[in-house]
Structure 1
Amino acid sequence: MAIYLQLLFFALLHTPPCSATGGSWSVLLPSVGISAMHMQLLPNDRVVMFDRTDFGTSRISLPNGKCRHNSTDCSAHSVEYDVASNSIRPLMLLTDVWCSSGTLMPNGRLTQTGGWGDGSQVVRIYRSCDTCDWQEIQNGLNQPRWYATNQILPDSRQIIIGGRQTFNYEFYPKMSATETSYSLPFLVQTSDLNIENNLYPFVFLIPDGNLFIFANNRAILFDYSRNKVVKNYPTMPDGQPRNYPSTGSAVLLPLQINKGTVNTIEVLVCGGAPKGAFINALNARFDRALDTCGRLKISDQNPEWLMETMPLARVLGDMLLLPNGHVLNINGASEGSAGWELGRNPVLNPVVYLPENPIGSRFQVQNPSNKPRMYHSTAVLLRDGRVLVGGSNPHDKYAFTDVLYPTELSLEAFAPSYLDPSSSILRPNIISHKRKAKMHYGEQIIIRFTITGDVNLSLISVTMIAPSFNTHSFSMNQRLLVLDGGNSTKAVFGRRSYYTVEVTAPPSGNIAPAGDYLLFVVHNEVPSPGIWVRIQ
């Protein structure tokens, strides 16, 4: 009862300062058996999730009496969730994936790397099918990778950057058995003396082929092919750390393609915990989370950070790009830090950021969940436009009683306001390319769609989103492209009328690395259900 009253007090204390404007919540499954610490949407509308193998026995058994080798633990620590059937299937992990990273490869398989202990140098591959399971490659990495970040590259390999006390990067797959790791001094420079506020660095591939890397409160433009820092960006003005364990979140804002180029490239970094918050939380003093976002136009010759104030302070939040180009910030706490038992006062209300709105009118508070999603929570975008939300376990084991924030095994869906019934007449429905479509760089594409209500053809656009690997408040490989073109017309076939829009596929792997994307037609900021496309 005491914990219930304390949670109620926290909820009242942290009521959002402005009224909520939309969105709705639903519980999909009361338990998936594990706490979804890591999450990846696959190109068959299934989602693979996993936590860690040393949490203790989970709440879902491995099939057919299986047990992990040299272990009495016969429970699963990974599951595959089928969106269509709203069901789960347990998977076998042999080595520890705690605080690991991953990338969806161009062939549609998840290649996942690193972890803790016996899993720190393991590469794991998951191909989804009704009977598929994890394949594990021992010593697939040169270095232990714990709290590292992965990014898919134009050559279809992935770069794996950093990790705890690992101030370098490497590639996977390897070009040869002798391929090594490469030093990255920036990771040393951004590591505090006692606190590594540069773990899970924010990494984005930008259209010139270089990498934008943000760690702690600094950022660089990095040419990985020459192991050279191309540019140093200004330190974020408040000087506050934003990476683990301070744990803010970041996105590369939508890339608008115009005549084969992207003229404006911007990064948004939001939330986190102030300097000293981690140590203070270890001593039971819980600092207020940061309530600021920094926006940097890295395409400018001399870019400067633009600082904005969020309506809700947030640490441990997850930022996701929505199909209409808005940014969702979801999950997290308003006090404390990342780490075991170190967060307080859950932020139950998501916030949507509208990048194109004038400053001062960019944030919209959404309707709240009633489930705290604290440390080790996750969120990914689904093809139907909902956001899948899971996880939350701020303990070093599964703990359901006598704790402030119990281990959360449930799976929820957040439906943004574009899915409200009032928007249904504005929502497009794609009627061509129902199955996975293949496209080639630079080719012309005609998409047919219907809309039941009045249509403003000038408000039609087509977006593509790369499905991301989400863990620890960062969605690796996340990017949204607004395709070039958008000329729309009305057509009639027999008694049926529909609309067409003609766009051009992305021009290169620098802008859109090869692989699977979700494609949406957007009308007046309301997106269609997506379709899977593969660019090659």
Structure 2
Amino acid sequence: MGGLATTCLVGAGPVVAQASVTGQWSRVQNLPFAPVHDVYLPNGRVLLVGRNRTQTLWDSVTQSIIGVPSPGYDLFCAGHGYLPDGRVLLAGGHIADFVGLAKASVYDPRTNTWTPAPDMNAGRWYPTVTTLPNGDSLVVSGSMDTSQSTNTLPQVYQPATNSWRNLTSAQLSQPMYPMMFVAPNGRVVDVGPSTTTRSLDTSGTGSWSFVANRNHGWRDYGTAVMYAEGKILVAGGGDPPQASAEVIDLNAATPSWRTVPSMSIARRHLNSTLLPDGTVLVTGGTSGPGHNNASTPVFPAELWNPATERWTTLASGSVPRLYHSAALLLPDGRVVVTGGDNVPEVEIFSPPYLFKGARPALSGVPSQVGYGQRVTVQSAQAAGIGKVTLIRLSAVTHAFNMDQRINVLPFAAGAGTLDITLPSSANQAPPGMYMVFLVDGNGVPSVGSVVQLGGTSGSVTPPSTGTTTGCSFPAWVQGRQYAAGAIVSYNGSNYVAKFANPGYNPTISTYYWAPYQCSTTSTPPPPAPAPAVSSLAPATATAGGAAFTLTVNGSNFVSGATVRWNGTARSTTFVGASQLRAAITAADIGAAGTAQVTVLNPGGAASGSALFTVASPPAAPAPTGCSFPAWVQGQQYAAGAIVTYNGSFYIAKFANPGYNPTISTYYWGTYACTSGTSTSPPPTGCTFPAWVQGRQYAAGAIVSYNGSNYIAKFANPGYNPTISTFYWAPHQC
């Protein structure tokens, strides 16, 4: 047995044997916040977005955390999808629950920067973004206001002109986060959570057509995945959660839904992930009734085989993955799983195929490929390859991956090489970022290679100015590594590399290259290097503290540079090329969390982010006489149990197996002791104030409603305890 299994588990034969059947979970690390949105980026990092203007990058290779500047608003509950050139469109955002923002922004992973797009027609909270065959992005649905009315106008973002096109003839009230897919005919199909399946023609002013009705009812917080070209699986969801699954083939003359075998466990808030071998992995969820029943987490993963249409139960994770969990595929064939409603722990699942032998090698994949193109790649195991797959990079939230899809590619094996043919149509694979995998006869995948498929409709046409007479620069070579400042000639024009890059096309990757004006008498120096931030002083502050001066140390600062706090400029004093000072207001540190500090030089060159930590104020000392047992890791706690940890008290909102009270805030709430002698909640005679609609409640507040008691999991403006189970939990007195 070789490859990953041999490397990781030498001498653990029985463990390897089991893992080759059920896979294996591993706990990796804790993130600085609980993510809600996960987007895998071409550079190996994952863009993570949480609540309250929190966003960061997680490096899937080094497991390091990299700061991300703020776009200037809260991205929580936005929609997201790839543009053809590898940038990511995020549409909508959060004002309050069910109150969406009309804003949209484009994130560039190459520069770690945001570019605002024009506002949409109205707010969207829980919208879906779908990349269209022409490279534009369709945005639908999303709640606008507290009446939970959804935005009925489909809009198409056109990156080539940075503008929106309204589909005024296709207005429709869709559920929030509808599950949308590009079909083989180029139309966009809505398969859930509603039972009615429709397709949208996005040409002109748009029009909807009926396709079919599903068999198993409403599937809110279920999952859907296109597991083959035009073939879609939906599973789980609903209240109470379902185990049922059904499929549709959009290639048929009259598509219809067909029931397939059910999962072994009913699930809601589950995630489905396409694997390189063509199977579908399902992780997480809750099996109990209600919006987010934390008492019934589902730990075992399940694997769906499209060939047999049957499920196999795999190994169990150790962290509840409920509402706001996410899962996505990494190039090494593993699946990273995050979130679960205030759960910061990261887990990684290694599917069984990683324990079945050595991986096939893969090299020589071009960074950019075209439709119908035939490319030759190298693999010493070419003769043993059984399948070549193309999987789109992931953008996932709320149980739905808005980007992933798979194509099985035709290939011909030679001596150490494979000739692979890319999809012939953008209807089969919309333009954007994908991973190419080789899969051997045992189902073991290679490490995936990221490619950009198709042109970019968002590219900027280069200026017509040609090379000045007497100027001579080397011709651009696709795939060659270029340093920042390198100058090349391409199609009669010159371009300078703004950033180091692996040979991206100068006329397409305008974020890496800029037109270069050549002088016949002297060659201008390359652009000044971008500023870099090395340290902050101070690097932390206490929430609620006073305004202060922040010293930013680094390099390549120039006069006129500004320090940005979460993307917003602050009054800045230029001290020198290695130091700036900025005025940070009390409002900037009004709440605990992290802030991203960046430097912007005149002309637009920007630094990477440095993290500034805003710490919570010290906990108030416990009232004299209060005494509760110390928290013990791994001990089973019942709902209502009270423990002491690091000098503070915590009450278990739900039964849990000893999760850390300061990390697993979903399971624990802070507890204020009001009695000098009490050692446990009074068993009888409990009296709490009646819930009042619209009143502001702090986290940990306890109210009485309809004869039952509820504890506020988070601060909220008086949401109904029996409806807003996200904000309230039953409280045992």
Q: Same fold (TM over 0.5)?
A: yes
- Residues in 2 aligned to 1:177 and 1:331: alpha-carbon distance in whole angstroms: 38
1:350 corresponding residue in structure 2: 301
Q: 1:217 and 1:381, CA in 2 relative to 1: closer, same or farther beyond 3 A?
A: same
| Alignment correspondent of 1:478 | 404
Superposed displacement of residue 345, structure 1: 0.6
Q: Tell me, yes or no, if structure 1 residue 322 matches structure 2 residue 275.
A: yes
Residue 530 (structure 1) aligned with residue 448 (structure 2): yes
Task: Give the alignment of 1:393-408 within 5 angstroms.
Answer: 393=341, 407-408=342-343
Specify the alignment match of 2:319 in structure 1: 371
Q: 1:500 aligns with which of 404, 408, 417?
A: 417
**Structure 2 counterpart SS, 1:385:** coil
Shift in alpha-carbon separation, 1:335–1:187, aligned structure 2, 3 A = farther
Name the aligned partner's letter for residue 84 of structure 1.
Answer: V
- 1:110 maps to which residue? 88
SS class of match (1:85): coil
Q: CA, structure 1 residues 205+108, in 2 after alignment: closer, same or farther (shift >3 Å)? A: same
SS in 1 for 2:353: helix
Q: Cα 1:127–1:346, aligned 2, differ >3 Å: closer, same or farther? A: same
- Corresponding residue of 1:181: 166
Unaligned 5+ residue runs, structure 1?
Answer: 1-18, 54-75, 191-197, 256-264, 278-286, 394-406, 492-498
**Amino acid paired to 2:235:** C
| Corresponding position: 1:424 with 2:357 | yes
Higher mean C-alpha deviation, range 329-338 or range 345-354: 329-338
- Does the Cα contact within 8 Å between 1:169 and 1:184 map onto a contact in 2? no
1:211 maps to 188
Letter of the 1:212 counterpart: V
**1:306-354 Cα shifts (integer Å, max 9, x gaps):** 112111111111111111110111121112344xx55541111111100
Contact 1:468-1:477 at 8 Å conserved across structures: yes
Query: Which one of the candidate residues 428, 437, 440 is aligned to 1:511?
Result: 428
Residue aligning to 1:410: 345
Q: Displacement, 1:514?
A: 1.9
Q: 2:65 aligns with which of 88, 93, 112?
A: 88
* Equivalence for 1:399: none
- AA at the equivalent of 1:441: Y
SS at match of 1:336: coil
Q: How many Å separate the matches in 1 of 2:188 and 2:242?
A: 26
Moved more, 31-40 or 228-237: 228-237
Whole-angstrom CA distance in 2 between matches of 1:176 and 1:456: 47
Match of 1:270 in 2: 235
Among candidates 170, 174, 179, match of residue 202 of structure 1: 179
Residue identity opposite 1:488 in structure 2: A
Matched with 2:223 is: 249
Q: Which runs of 4+ in 1 moved over 6 A?
A: 174-178
Q: Deviation per CA, 1:69-108: give whole Å up to 9, x if none.
A: xxxxxxx711101122110112232211121111121221
- Output the TM-score relative to the length of structure 1: 0.74
- Between the aligned partners of 1:253 and 1:77, the Cα distance in structure 2 is 32
Per-residue deviation, 1:303: 2.6
Task: Report if aligned partners of 2:154, 2:171 keep a CA contact under 8 Å in 1.
Answer: no
Counterpart residue type for residue 478 of structure 1? Q
**Partner of residue 23, structure 1:** 23
For the Cα contact (< 8 Å) 1:460–1:488, is it kept in 2? no
Aligned to 1:125: 106
Q: Are 1:447 and 2:377 an aligned pair?
A: yes
Distance 1:174 1:106, change over 3 A: closer
1:408 counterpart letter in structure 2: V
Q: Is residue 153–residue 171 contact of structure 2 (8 Å, CA) maintained in 1?
A: no
Q: Match for residue 595 of structure 2?
A: none
Say if 1:96 and 1:115, in contact at 8 Å, map to a contact too.
yes
Partners of 1:344 and 1:182 lie apart in 2 by 43
Which residue is equivalent to 2:264? Answer: 311
**How far apart, CA to CA, are the structure 2 residues paired with 1:449 and 1:532?**
16
1:372 to partner: Cα distance: 0.3
Matched with 1:261 is none
Letter in 2 for 1:424: G
1:20–1:364 contact (8 Å) kept in structure 2: no
Compared with structure 1, are the counterparts of its residues 179 and 456 closer, same or farther at alpha carbon in structure 2 (3 Å cutoff)?
closer
- 1:275-321 CA distances to partner (integer Å, 9 max, x unpaired)? xx3xxxxxxxxx3x101011111211223321121111111111111
Query: In the alignment, which of 389, 395, 402 is matched to residue 337 of structure 2?
Result: 389
Cα distance in 2 between the residues matched to 1:163 and 1:506: 32
Decide whether aligned partners of structure 1 residues 183 and 344 sit closer, same or farther in structure 2, where only a CA change above 3 A counts: farther
Change beyond 3 A, Cα 1:342–1:88: same
Separation in structure 1 between the aligned mates of residue 333 and residue 20 of structure 2, nearest angstrom: 20
The one-letter code matched in structure 1 to 2:226 is L
The residue aligned with 1:158 is: 137
- Greater alpha carbon shift after TM alignment, 368-377 vs 88-97: 88-97
Match of 1:32 in 2: 31
- Structure 1 residues 413 and 128, CA gap change in structure 2 (3 angstroms): same
* CA positional deviation for 1:478: 1.3
1:461 maps to what in 2? 387
Instruction: Give the letter aligned to residue 425 of structure 2.
Output: S
> How far is the alpha carbon of 1:133 from its aligned partner?
3.7
Once the two structures are TM-superposed, the CA of residue 515 in structure 1 deviates from its matched residue by: 1.9
* Paired residues of 1:100 and 1:112 also in contact (CA < 8 A): yes
In 2, are the aligned partners of 1:21 and 1:365 still within 8 Å (CA)? no
Residue 228 (structure 1) shift: 5.0
**Mapped partners of 2:86, 2:21: distance in 1:** 36
Distance (Å, rounded) in 2 between the aligned partners of 1:303 and 1:418 = 33
Query: Counterpart amino acid of 2:362?
Result: I
Measured in 1, the distance between the counterparts of 2:215 and 2:323 equals 27
Q: Deviations over 1:14-39 (max 9, x none)?
A: xxxxx99411111221x211111000
Deviation string for 1:500-522 (max 9, x for gaps)?
Answer: 22121111222222222100011
**Quick one: which amino acid aligns to residue 379 of structure 1?**
A
Identity %: 28
Name the amino acid aligned to 2:225: V
1:168 aligns with 2:153: yes
Give 2:74's aligned amino acid.
D
2:289 pairs with 1:336: yes
Structure 2 residue runs without a partner (length 5+): 1-18, 144-149, 455-733
8 Å Cα contact 1:252-1:479 kept in structure 2: yes
Q: 2:412 pairs with 468, 487, 491, which one?
A: 487
- Matches of 1:37 and 1:516 in 2, distance apart? 22
2:211 counterpart (221, 233, 236): 233
Match of 1:396 in 2: none
Q: Deviations over 1:464-496 (max 9, x none)?
A: 111121000000021101112x2223x2xxxxx
Deviation at 1:173, TM superposition (A): 3.1
Match of 1:140 in 2: 119
The CA distance in 2 between the partners of 1:26 and 1:349, in whole Å, is 13
Give the partner amino acid of 2:122.
Answer: Q
Q: Residues 102 and 113 (structure 1 numbering): CA distance in 2 closer, same or farther, change over 3 Å? A: same
Distance in 2 of aligned mates of 1:143 and 1:27 = 41
Separation (CA, whole Å) in 1 of partners of 2:166 and 2:232: 27
TM-score, normalising length from structure 2? 0.55
Could you say what secondary structure the match of 2:213 adopts? coil
Per-residue CA deviations over 1:246-294 (Å, capped at 9, x if unaligned) read 2100011222xxxxxxxxx211110011xxx3xxxxxxxxx3x101011
In 1: Cα distance, 2:208 partner to 2:88 partner: 31
Q: Per-residue displacement from partner, 1:116-162 (whole Å, max 9, x unpaired)?
A: 22971111222225x7344445x522221111100111221101011
2:147 is equivalent to residue 221 of structure 1: no
Q: Which secondary structure does the structure 2 equivalent of 1:419 belong to?
A: helix
Residue matched to 2:703: none
Pair 1:97 & 2:75 matched:
yes
Q: Secondary structure at the match of 2:288?
A: strand
